[in-house]
Amino acid sequence: MSQSVLRRWVLVRLFVAGFLCLVLLIPVALVKELIEERQQRRNGAVQEVTEKWGASQTLVGPVLSVPARRVVGIERGQAVYQSEYIHCLPDSLSVSGMLSPSVRKRGIYKVTLYSSRLTIRADFLLSQLASYVRGDREVFWDQAFLTLGVNDLKGIRDVAEASWNGNKLAPDPGVKSNEVIGTGITMLPGPISAAGRAELRMTVDLNGSEEFQLVPVGKVTDLHIASQWPDPSFIGSFLPARRTVTKTDFTADWRVLHLNRSFPQNWVGARGDIRNAAFGVRLMVPIDEYQKNSRAAKYAILFIALLFLAFGMTDVLARIAFHPIHYVLVTLALILFYVLLLSLSEQIGFNWAYGLAGSAVVLLVVLYLYGTTARAGVSAALGGLLLLQYVFLFVLMQLEDYALLVGSLGLFVALSLVMYLTRKIDWFSVGQLEDRDSGEPLELGLRKERS
């Protein structure tokens, strides 16, 4: 009886399977795009919440600014003046506070927020302003003002106990000059002089989301942050000098000197680079559902390749010829796993979703293979291999720092096993494998009646 080339030659079937493996990368790419789309939708929901509560906050200041003007020329016998601001940073700055975190929901999405009470102490060395007093410059000491920069003013709940040398201050919204700080609050300390020292004390109740940072404007800047959050990520230009992280909370202390940054203690005019020195903490979710889904989807091609390899070995070793349609249907089940994982993880969390989606796909593949081959051993072996892959991938998802090491070792073991099982196969004659009884190649699902 004549046979088709596809049915007769094992190597032809393997090459066709390899081509299908490449073609099926297209739906894998579509799954990755779906994950990105859902993540963008989550980010939109987060933005909606933070716009009403308070965005990630960066504290800048306080900065003492003094208006001045200087002569730049003579026109028609009259002096021509140019207005400017003299900006002075504190000699020492100390900020301490407790971030009280909370997780809010927007539909099916979670948003990490915090409320905080920040105690700010700043000491100014006013005598450093004496160098700016000269004949061509007129300084308006009675119009000096303090500016505290805050990223999102909606997050300010209260400013209490604000005082300058013991005298109470009344904060006003907005900034008088945006040469250094773009958004924040302004306080008027009254007339000052270029001599002695001055003390600013204030307490700020501030709402924010995910991140808190401070710009080290002090000649010596100290920051102390504590929070009932188990997973902090220390961000920005400086790491804490001391930190303690437990399973339930953390504390961190920074000390930054003026020698560690790129801007001086006082200057005249605009300066927009001071925010580059910001540092602080992020209340981090170690790996959220979308990050885990994205990481899992990166292994899709590996799953497909290993499955096709297992089918090819079964074709050669067990003499069961798989049709390309079988490759396609089983691979589509593997791709559907990622869609199920994404949709379920948004509702019940990643771990439960992974277990349910993986179990459903393994059961589906085993039942399909048994229904088409009527070989319980082969179906169980291929199903067990697929289950082992899912378990291995789940372990990799939990090992953030050692995922690459464990993954590469796992692939090495898999390749070693394949090489061991196929070490005695004569690949030149593999296409001539025939059924021992009938002399014909076995076809998947083909059942012969014997008299």
Q: Could you write out the DSSP letters of every residue in 17-29?
A: HHHHHHHTHHHHH
Q: Does residue 311 sit within a domain?
A: yes
Cα–Cα distance for residue pair 422/420, rounded to 1 Å: 6
pLDDT for 428 equals 56
Residues 192 and 216 in one domain: yes
Q: Does residue 127 sit within a domain?
A: yes
pLDDT for 353 equals 83
Helix (H, G, I), strand (E, B) or coil at 162: strand
Q: Does residue 438 sit within a domain?
A: no
For the CA atoms of 24, 26, 29, 33, the dihedral, rounded to the nearest 10 degrees, stands at -130
Enter the tokens of residue 12. 């032809």
User: Do 357 and 337 meet the contact criterion of CB atoms below 8 Å apart?
Assistant: yes
Q: What's phi and psi for 256, nearest 5 deg?
A: -125, 130
Q: How many helices (H) and strands (E) does the chain have?
A: 9, 18
78 to 73, 207, 294: CA distances (angstroms): 8, 52, 69
Range of the domain at 201: 55-286
Q: Does residue 437 sit within a domain?
A: no
Residues 242 and 327 in one domain: no
Residues 381 and 252 in one domain: no
Cα–Cα distance for residue pair 390/362, rounded to 1 Å: 9
Residues 79 and 169 in one domain: yes
Strand bridging mode 211-214 / 57-75: parallel
Residue 276's CB is within 10 A of a number of other CB atoms, namely 12
Cα–Cα distance for residue pair 7/4, rounded to 1 Å: 5
Residue owning tokens 């559902």: 289
Residues 278 and 400 in one domain: no
Cα–Cα distance for residue pair 277/236, rounded to 1 Å: 7
Residues 251 and 377 in one domain: no
> Into how many domains does the chain fold?
2
For the CA atoms of 198, 199, 204, 209, the dihedral, rounded to the nearest 10 degrees, stands at 80
Domain boundary among 260, 286, 312: 286
Domain boundary among 286, 314, 346: 286
Domain boundary among 227, 257, 286: 286
Residues 61 and 111 in one domain: yes
Q: What CATH code is carried by the domain that includes residue 132?
A: 2.60.40
pLDDT for 254 equals 92
30 to 24, 35, 238: CA distances (angstroms): 10, 9, 40
Cα–Cα distance for residue pair 53/61, rounded to 1 Å: 22
167 to 62, 122, 132, 196, 198: CA distances (angstroms): 16, 14, 26, 16, 11
Q: Model-level pTM?
A: 0.65
Buried b (16+ CB within 10 A) or exposed e, 189-202: beebebeeebebbb
Q: Rounded to 5 degrees, what angle do the CA atoms 181, 184, 190 make? A: 90
* Burial (CB count within 10 angstroms: exposed 0-12, middle 13-18, buried 19+), residue 17: buried
Q: Does residue 32 sit within a domain?
A: yes
Cis amide linkage into residue 62, ω under 30° from 0: yes
Q: Does residue 448 sit within a domain?
A: no
Cα–Cα distance for residue pair 313/351, rounded to 1 Å: 32
Q: Does residue 119 sit within a domain?
A: yes
Rg of the chain over Cα atoms, rounded to whole angstroms, equals 34
Enter the tokens of residue 351. 């771990």
pLDDT tens series, the chain, 451 aa: 344 444 445 555 556 666 666 666 676 677 677 777 777 777 676 667 666 777 888 888 788 888 888 776 777 766 677 788 888 899 899 999 888 888 777 666 677 888 888 999 999 888 888 877 777 777 888 888 888 988 888 888 888 888 888 888 888 888 888 888 888 888 888 888 877 888 989 998 888 888 899 999 888 999 999 988 888 888 888 888 899 988 888 999 999 998 888 888 888 887 777 888 889 988 876 556 777 777 777 777 777 777 767 766 666 666 666 666 776 777 777 777 888 877 787 777 777 888 888 888 888 888 877 777 777 777 777 777 778 777 877 777 776 666 667 767 777 777 777 677 666 665 555 555 444 444 444 443 333 433 3
Cα–Cα distance for residue pair 372/375, rounded to 1 Å: 8
Enter the tokens of residue 195. 């001599």
Q: Does residue 375 sit within a domain?
A: yes
- Amino acid at residue number 30: L
